[in-house]
Every structure is written in structure tokens, then in C-alpha cells.
Structure 1
Amino acid sequence: MRASKEKRLGRILEILEREEKMRVRELADELEITPETLRSDLGDLVRMSVVEREHGYVRLVQAPQETPMAIRSGHHVQEKIAVAYAALSTVKDGQVIYVDAGSTVLLGLQALARRRDLLVATNSLPGALKLAQMNIRTLVVGGMAYNPGERTYGNFATSVVDHIQFDVVFLGTDGFQDARGFTTVHDNELGLKRHLIAQTEKVVVVCDRSKFHDKAPFMFCTFAEADLLVTNRLTEQERNEVDGVREILEV
């Protein structure tokens, strides 16, 4: 899928999050694209079970689920790039780190190109490929492959993690509105993240500001367990919502 289309699909989701339900014709006008192009884009989103169409309208599917990686990577892309680069720029030469399959973290992998003697573990399939192409020593955490998130999970993944002592783990989150910590929409991600937190010296949570207004059912990390939160510029109220995090880096 071309980058321009990914960004367009991400923009469609942003609009539907705001409007909840919208006429297809009005959506095409706002995006400044032809109805034919929008029909093609909506067809992709329907096949991914992200949106649904009804009588000239389109709306988000309401059931909690993981948005496919191709869409997440184009969602709030500028904000994600900024926080991802800031987070991964804190890595030092010679460290052993873990980068999870969150779309935000993966956008900053290029920041690791300047570092030497790294070992990077990940459960992200596209992330592992990119790291290998950058000639960085890369350990792919095995397990069951999960298609929408393009990642691995399960007992095999956690057993590998349990044999590694990490300097830093970088974790994404699906949201934490009205929560006591950082959450994910999938229980099959919960165990792996908990094992990572137990095996590291430092926990870094990376997310764009939109996650302050999203909810997910499974908490993998309390605010107190996070050593650093890297996110966009916050309001005072938003800072108070994550009270307990030891340090916040705003970019």
C-alpha cells in the first residue's frame, strides 16, 4: 500500500472519530478526493473490519479491535514521528533494547542508525525487517503471528523474553482515558508486555497525544511502573491524568 494511501486512510479514521457517522459524499469533499478514490479507500477499510457503510453513510466499527498496521502507521503520523524519534534518540551505544509492535515506536527506528553495538529485540515483523536492513543486530521474538498487528505473541514470545535482561523497553499503548495505567485492546498482548516490564531496567511508554482520549480494557503497566512517557505537548490537565509517571518528555 503506498504511503499516500496510508495517510489518506489514517485521515479518514481521524474524521470519523470526530464525526462518528458521516455522509460518503461529504467525506469525499472534506478529503478533497474523488468519489471513486473514496469508494476504493472505504472498500479497503471495510475489508479490514475498521468501518462499515450504510445507506450513503460511513461509520467506525464499534467493537474494540486492533486497527491494521497499515492504517495505524498513517494515523496522526506527524505527531507519532516526533515522539518516536525523541524516544529512540535516548538509546545509547551498546544497549540491549526491546521495541514493541506499536505503530508509533516503529516510525522512529531510523533514529537507531547512529548507534553502535546495539541488540534490538522485537515482536514486530515489519520492524524486524527494517532493523535488519539497517544492519542492526536484531532478535525476532517468536510465537504465533497475528495479522492485523503484524506481530508475534504467545508463550514462545514470553519464554524468549524471560531469558534476556534489557536496558530499555519501548512500549506503545492503545489508550488510558480514565485508567490507572497504560492499556491495550488485546489480552494476547498483555502477558508479553508484563514479562518485558519484569526483565528491564527502564520502561519507556511512547504515544501520541490522542491516546489520552482513547480507552482499552487491559492494563499492562501502571503509571508508577513507567520510568518515562514520551508524548506530544500536553495541557496541565493531561499531565495530571498521568500523575505517577516518573518523567514525561513532551515534543
Structure 2
Amino acid sequence: MAGKDRVLLIKQLLLNEKKVSVPDLSKKFSVTEETIRRDLDKLEDEGFLTRTYGGAVLNVEEVVSNVPFYKRAEHNLEQKQSIAITAQEILKTAHTIFADASSTVMETLKLFKHREDLTIVTNSSEALKELLVSDVNVLSTGGTLNKRTLSLQGDLTEYAISVYNVDVAVISCKGIDFDTGVTDTNEVECRIKRQMIEQANEVILLIDHSKFNKKAFVHLSDIKNITHVITDSKPSEEWLNYFRENHIQVHF
């Protein structure tokens, strides 16, 4: 069996069983344990799994991030719309914003269609379609289209962001944790969001309650770089104290 075919079968086993062991895979595919470890290393580099002692476990967040945009947009829609309404109020004095390509941010952009005083710079191809008939001034970053996430990516995207200075960056993520900070699942998207954070006077993080105390594969930002956190329900007292101590405004 070719190595690439074995890796695909290991992926399928992980999707079905959520974890695998090196000895079991070695026996199943009649190859050495060292060969299996190399296969698992490749999948870990992709973010598909996390290595454990003697095996690996499925990186669920990475699998979710690869779900096509429209399916993700339907997930937790009510919570996203609640967050968007709060974000609309916070952003009413902003005149220039960066907007990432996440489905939560997309719900927020839908509420800005009549803002003649607003300029949005975004790498979301879906935002370009959604705001085609609107009063908003929309600037596309350009770049290579990822057809699953409907986001524009690459060097051109990052360069375009670097030439603008905006009032607020509006981003989302897959997890926020006291020790690891703000995390996401895709390194390419993280680079784009980091550039947005760097070029913005303020940063608004949109996250539903399920993202607290979660760690995703890629470090996106230190929490101290965030100005506002908008979520759909009241965070724990521990988080409220943390935000207060770090001068981060939280809205729910």
C-alpha cells in the first residue's frame, strides 16, 4: 500500500474512532511502528491530530474549521446573531474596520448595510457578495480564494492589510485560554488576523460561550492585544476578573 493511501485510511480511522495507537496501526497496515510514527507526524503537521504517548487523538477543531463556510454559518446561528447585535452597538462610532472571513463576523457585517460613513476592509469573498447592495464602502484585500472558507489568502492579502490603518479589527477565533491566549485552527488565517490586529487601534473579539477555556492548534494572539470581547452569555467570574484586571471590556 502506498504511503499516501495509508495516511488517508489513518485519517478515516481517526474520524470514526477519535483516537488511534501506533502498535495497532502497525499491525493493521503491516508496517513498522516507526513508519506509523512518521505518518502521524505528517498529520500532526497538518493540524489533523495531536500526538499522544503511543498514539494520537483527532484534532476536532481542525476538522470543524474545514467544514464549508455555509455549513459553519448555520451552526449556532442564534448565538452569532446575538453577538452581532451587540457588536453593532459597539461599532457605531467606528468609521474604518478590518473584518475577517469568519461566519460570526459575517453576521455582524450584515447589520451595517446602511452605514454610509463606514469603510470595511475584508478578506471575505462572502462579504463582497453580501454588501454588494449597500451604502458601505467595501475594500477587498485580494488574494487567492479558498473555496471552502470563502476567504482570500496569501501574500497579496497580507500586504493589502499592511497598508491600511483602521479604527477597529473585528475577528473571531476557535478558543481562548488563560495560558495559551487566543487560538485558531489555521496558520494562514492566523497570519491574516495578526496583521489586522497590528494595523488596528482597537480589536474586537467575537466568541460564543463555548470558546472559553478552549485551545485550538495555532496561537493567534495574546489576550492583552484584545480591546473588547463580545460573547453571547455571561463569562465566569474568573474570566470577568481577568478581563477587568487587563483593561479589556467584555459585553454579553
- Flag whether TM exceeds 0.5 (same fold): yes
2:61, 2:185 within 8 Å by CA — same for their partners in 1?
A: no
> Residues 93, 246 of structure 1: CA spacing in aligned structure 2 closer, same or farther, 3 A cutoff?
closer
Q: 1:196 — aligned with what?
A: 196
Aligned length: 194
**Matches of 1:243 and 1:94, distance apart in 2:** 23
- Single out whichever of 88-97 and 168-177 deviates more from structure 2: 88-97
Q: Structure 1 pair 63/169, CA: closer, same or farther in 2 (3 Å)? A: closer
Output the CA distance in 1 between the equivalents of 2:99 and 2:215. Answer: 22
1:216 partnered with 2:233: no
* Cα RMSD after superposing both structures: 2.5
Deviation of 1:165 after TM superposition, in Å, equals 0.7
Equivalent residue, structure 1, for 2:37: none
Secondary structure, counterpart of 2:131 in structure 1: helix
Cα distance per residue 1:184-231 (max 9 Å; x no partner) = 100111221111111111111111111115421212221101011111
- Residue 43 of structure 2 corresponds to which residue in structure 1? none
SS of equivalent residue, structure 1 residue 167 = strand
- Which residue of structure 2 aligns with residue 228 of structure 1? 228
Q: Percent identical across equivalent pairs? A: 24
In the TM superposition, residue 237 of structure 1 has moved relative to its aligned partner by: 3.5
Partner of 1:103: 103
In the alignment, is the contact (CA less than 8 A) between 1:228 and 1:245 conserved in 2?
Answer: no
Task: Write out aligned runs for 1:54-203 (5 A).
Answer: 62=60, 64-65=62-63, 66=65, 67-92=67-92, 95-177=95-177, 179-203=179-203
Deviation at residue 114 of structure 1 after TM alignment: 4.2
Partners of 1:197 and 1:73 lie apart in 2 by 23
Q: For residue 113 of structure 2, give the secondary structure of its aligned residue in structure 1.
A: helix
Identify the residue that residue 250 of structure 2 maps to in structure 1.
249
Give the stretch that moved more between structures: 84-93 or 127-136.
84-93
Q: C-alpha offsets along residues 114-170 of structure 1, whole Å, 9 cap, x if unaligned?
A: 433211111111112112222311111111111221101111001101111111110
Q: Distance in 1 between matches of 2:153 and 2:129?
A: 17
- Change in Cα spacing, 1:143 to 1:223, as seen in structure 2 (3 Å) is same
Amino acid in the other structure paired with 1:224: K
Stretches of structure 2 lacking an aligned partner (at least 5 in a row)? 1-17, 19-57
Query: SS at the partner of 2:176?
Result: coil
CA contact (8 A) 1:209 1:234 kept: yes
2:243–2:249 contact (8 Å) kept in structure 1:
no
Distance of 1:241 and 1:68 partners within structure 2: 34
Does the CA contact (< 8 Å) of 2:243 and 2:250 recur in 1?
no
Structure with the higher fraction of residues in helix conformation: 2
SS at match of 2:169: strand
Once the two structures are TM-superposed, the CA of residue 90 in structure 1 deviates from its matched residue by 2.0
Task: Look up the match of 1:239.
Answer: 240
For 2:178 and 2:93, locate their aligned partners in 1 and report how far apart those are by CA, in whole Å. 38
Query: TM-score normalized by structure 1?
Result: 0.69
The answer to whether the 8 Å contact 2:101/2:150 transfers is: yes
Q: Which residue of 2 aligns with 1:205?
A: 205
Distance change (3 Å), C-alpha of 1:69 and 1:243: farther
Q: Deviations over 1:23-75 (max 9, x none)?
A: xxxxxxxxxxxxxxxxxxxxxxxxxxxxxxxxxxxxx9847241321122111
Q: Distance in 2 between matches of 1:246 and 1:105?
A: 23
Contact residue 119 and residue 137 of structure 1 kept, 8 A: yes
* 8 Å Cα contact 1:104-1:208 kept in structure 2: no
Q: Give the 3 Å change call, closer, same or farther, for CA 94–180 of structure 1 in structure 2.
A: closer
Equivalent residue of 2:210, what SS? helix
